[in-house]
Amino acid sequence: MEPKLNTQLPGKTPVVPETFPGIFWCPDLVSTRDLGSQGVEAVLHLAELMKSRPSVFARALAGKQMVMFFEKPSLRTRLTFEAGMASLGGTTMFVDQSKSRLDARETLSDIAHNLERWVDVIVLRTFAQETITGMAQHASIPVINALSDLEHPCQALADYFTLVERFGSLKDITLAYVGDGNNVAHSLLLTCACVGSSIRIATPKGYSCNVQIVADARKIARQTGARIEFLTDPHAAAAGVDAVYTDAWASMGQEHEAAERAEIFQSYQVNRNLMAEAAPHAVFMHCLPAHRGEEVTDEVMDSEQSVIFEQAENRMHVQKAILYLLLGGAVRLPARSAHA
């Protein structure tokens, strides 16, 4: 049975876009869990089409407007959303919330009811997941999670799209994530579960993934056949895998823990020795920005195995697909080939 979509939000009924036959869509992307396996497949398939045939979609979202509220600094997320929306014919407005939280001046409900009258989609990059869920509950237009303390769904979707490009089928590959059990790890875990792939997550004791995220991923995995393992030994996690992934040891907002974490996570550094545990064809992945010399060495970052810039590029293609599906793009898509 497909994981239940986010159907309870007022004024938002999931629809099957006429331009993407057979896909049951959801009103927001607050969590990867909103998509389910069909939704993830739709995003990855559409991203592939958009990347290979961008001119076909040049006016797909003409007249649509997107507003972005960011409480945290951004390079990749902001520019890939803005460039992606522009390439689809839409327009973007950016609101810098780095000096104060989004709901500091007025309630999320009041903000949402203003925004839904002006624009077509809201993109949020926040500290608290509750800010995003709250906005989605009150706004009658789509809300996209562009990063929170709990999840980073757009990043993980781009990561798995990068793996599709490199390896084809996701069913036969294994990704090892080593480091902090943070928002990126959570979204990788949920995306892996949705596509029926395999993942090993190695974290130090006390820095493991969120219990509810793990439970939800396991529930999805039982339906898709995904394989999920949790370890504390990074070398055991990396043994024979197709991809090795890491992230910063201290996320934004955790800078005061950086020194302590640097000691705890030192054995989780992705270096030549750790990459040697992986399969010869393995790739190195990182969501960026990276702290070179900490969670990863320059030697690995700049190696031929590194696909970090492919990941960064694919953020744009995946986010274009998400925007198209949430906003009902105006291009009729070709059916998936039986030989794809």
Which own/partner contact pairs does 280-285 have at CB distance under 8 Å and 24+ positions apart?
281/242, 282/241, 282/242, 282/243, 282/244, 283/163, 283/166, 283/242, 283/243, 283/244, 283/307, 284/243, 284/244, 284/245, 284/308, 285/159, 285/162, 285/175, 285/243, 285/244, 285/245, 285/246, 285/311
Which among 152, 186, 200, 261 is annotated as catalytic?
152
- 129 catalytic residue (yes or no): no
- 247 catalytic residue (yes or no): yes
- 26 catalytic residue (yes or no): no
Under 8 Å between Cβ of 153 and 186: no
Which among 125, 138, 186, 286 is annotated as catalytic?
125
- 155 catalytic residue (yes or no): yes
Tell me how far apart the 2 most distant CA atoms of the chain are, in Å: 55
Residue 335: partners with Cβ closer than 8 Å, 6 or more residues away:
21
Q: Where on the phi/psi map is residue 279: left (φ > 0), alpha (ψ -120 to 50), or beta?
A: beta
> What's the token pair of residue 150?
């709990």
Q: How many of the other CB atoms lie within 10 Å of CB of 105?
A: 9
Asked if the peptide bond before residue 289 counts as cis, ω within 30 degrees of 0, the response is yes
Which among 129, 137, 155, 319 is annotated as catalytic?
155
Which among 26, 154, 209, 287 is annotated as catalytic?
287
Q: How far apart are CA 23 and CA 21, in angstroms?
A: 6
Q: Residue 313: name the closest of 147, 134, 63, 80 by CA.
A: 80
Active site members: 125, 152, 155, 247, 287, 315
